Structure 1
Amino acid sequence: MADYEKLLKQAAMQIGAGGSAGFIEVCIMHPLDLVKTRLQLQATKISASSSDPHYYDGIVDCMKKMYKHEGVTSFWKGILPPILAETPKRAVKFFTFEQYKQFFMFGSSTPTPLTFSLAGLGAGVTEAILVNPFEVVKVTLQSNKALAAQVPSTWTVTRQIVREHGLGLRGLNKGVTATIARNGVFNMVYFGFYHSVKGYIPENQDPVLEFGRKVAIGFTSGVLGSCVNIPFDVAKSRIQGPQPTPGVIKYSSTIGAVRLVYREEGFRALYKGLLPKVLRLGPGGAIMLVVYDYVYHFLERKFELNK
């Protein structure tokens, strides 16, 4: 019974800490996620004129034009789906990571870098399946370039997607394989690097230096994961976003989308949105891991005090 209660407490702490990390990270970093999506949805500048108010030359240009034509609140377009998704998503991610970690020990008494990487991959695939419908709605909202006040609500967009395309691979689960690839690869690198490197760099007794150690490793983990998985992220945005020709599905499969972007726009197009993604998931990765660690240890102390 004691072991059962201990497992329940650990699960509650993992879910609570993961959910807190996801909520805080989304609220702070959402504008950069939106800019990343806008840049990824944008094809190469073949026919767009220089006066097009919705063609973006980079992060700063995108932010300036969004502020001018859509208003300051436009930077948080589509934030409700991530808030609704990211809190449970991060809770699921950190919780399942801990469970997969036990599964991938392969007889070792302590986790190895392979253990962390495979557990991260498993956690990423699990969260991707759960969160994909929210991603479809989010990308639809983020791609809308009207004034923020004129953008339909999250619920309106969700109902429209379900009514027109259903719940399947053309509807709320559109692009699920791209989301699985994106999240699986990111978390494999993210968790694998963070926990492996953290084990080699000793903890510091100074709280400020220890905080800096965790932030630096978390930041590097987020940057590396972003650089590795960005082609899948571009494919996901193209599949889930508006198609170039209304009514004609150009981007349908993950590998097919990657090939099309490469063939038509070149290798660099597969890395569209990398800078805002790095600017988001570098600090965002650090925020999540640091918040998770501190909230987990806070809850751990509370549970111990209340034994």
Structure 2
Amino acid sequence: MSQRKSSSSPFSLKVVAINLAAGGSAGFTEICIMHPLDVVKTRFQIQTTGKPGDPNYYTSVYDCIRKMARNEGVLSLYKGVLPPVLVETPKRAVKFLTFEIYKKIFGSPTPTTFFLAGLGSGTTEAILVNPFEVVKVAQQANRSQHKVSPSTWAVARQIVKNEGFGFRGLNKGVTATIGRNGLFNMIYFGFFHTVNSKITQPENKWRQNFQKFLIGLVAGVLGCLVNIPFDVAKSRIQGPQPVPGEIKYRSTFGSIGLVYREEG
């Protein structure tokens, strides 16, 4: 009985290995497919001024992809792809394992527990991934031809050399990343586990999985809607400042307030 319990525990070596392999491979596939849209998202989030005729001003997703491919090369849509690839497997492990740990800490499986455990999981995950996010955003914001764009290692070295490891260097924007990841995981895990535990589970395995997929889809959409202001603030803090040498976007809520006042 105890052997069966330990083998199904979320902390057993076998389960951890399976989750790492499955999560890592799924994450790698997701990055390969979705990264161009992540680059486009960053370009829009750091865009503050410009006119439709400006080659560096984007009016739509298609317009951004077209201009980047024409001006910077097709592979420019994969700028900054290495940092998320490097951190994806440990990120997934931290995300799901810490959720289970926080769930145990907070006690009985209630909606409040699920939401709090999700918030704790996202906060821990954010601290891990933030240095990689800083490098990724710096690469995605670079508008030079893909062939001459600096490598991930060159960008990381430059950030450390000029700004260090602190909150103006490799860890700048960490509070915005905590807000983004913390809120997303709180909504995602909280909504998913609450709804999944309340509704009737179909006997058919395929229908059961499809039901979980739909709940996860809704949870993901809700999470994105809630956390997007923090994601914009993160890109503004971590990306190039409007005036070189002057730091306009410093704090998370200060950046959100500035964007709201100046751009709506």
Query: What TM-score do the two structures reach when normalised by structure 1?
Result: 0.79
Alpha-carbon distance in structure 2 between the residues aligned to 1:127 and 1:120: 10
8 Å Cα contact 2:52/2:58 also seen in 1: no
Deviations 1:179-236 (A, max 9, x none): 1111101100011111111223333344443342222111111110000011111110
Cα offset for 1:4?
A: 7.0
Change (3 A) 1:21 1:119: farther
Identity %: 61
The letter for the 2-side match of 1:243 is: Q
The letter for the 1-side match of 2:241 is: Q
8 Å Cα contact 2:39/2:77 also seen in 1: yes
The letter for the 2-side match of 1:212 is: F
Deviations 1:82-114 (A, max 9, x none): 001122111110111111111112xx3xx1111
Alpha-carbon distance in structure 2 between the residues aligned to 1:35 and 1:50: 16
Cα offset for 1:175?
A: 0.6
Q: Write the mapping of 1:96-115 to structure 2, written as runs, cut at 5 A.
A: 96-105=98-107, 108=108, 111-115=109-113
The letter for the 2-side match of 1:172 is: L
8 Å Cα contact 2:52/2:59 also seen in 1: no
Using CA pairs under 8 Å that are at least 6 residues apart, name the structure with larger relative contact order, 1 or 2.
Answer: 1
Deviates more, 1:163-172 or 1:23-32: 23-32
Contiguous gaps of at least 5 residues in structure 1:
267-307
**Residue of structure 1 equivalent to 2:248:** 250
Alpha-carbon distance in structure 2 between the residues aligned to 1:243 and 1:159: 19
Structure 1 residue 8 and structure 2 residue 12: aligned? yes
Alpha-carbon distance in structure 2 between the residues aligned to 1:160 and 1:226: 32
Contiguous gaps of at least 5 residues in structure 2:
none
**Residue of structure 2 equivalent to 1:85:** 87
Q: Write the mapping of 1:177-216 to structure 2, written as runs, cut at 5 A.
A: 177-216=175-214
Deviates more, 1:28-37 or 1:9-18: 9-18
Tell me how many residue pairs correspond in the alignment.
259
Alpha-carbon distance in structure 2 between the residues aligned to 1:260 and 1:62: 24
Structure 1 residue 231 and structure 2 residue 238: aligned? no
Alpha-carbon distance in structure 2 between the residues aligned to 1:58 and 1:138: 22
Cα offset for 1:238?
A: 0.2
Structure 1 residue 28 and structure 2 residue 33: aligned? yes
The letter for the 2-side match of 1:217 is: I
Alpha-carbon distance in structure 1 between the residues aligned to 2:205 and 2:136: 38
Query: What TM-score do the two structures reach when normalised by structure 2?
Result: 0.91
In the TM superposition, structure 1's runs of 4+ consecutive aligned residues that sit over 6 Å from their partners are none
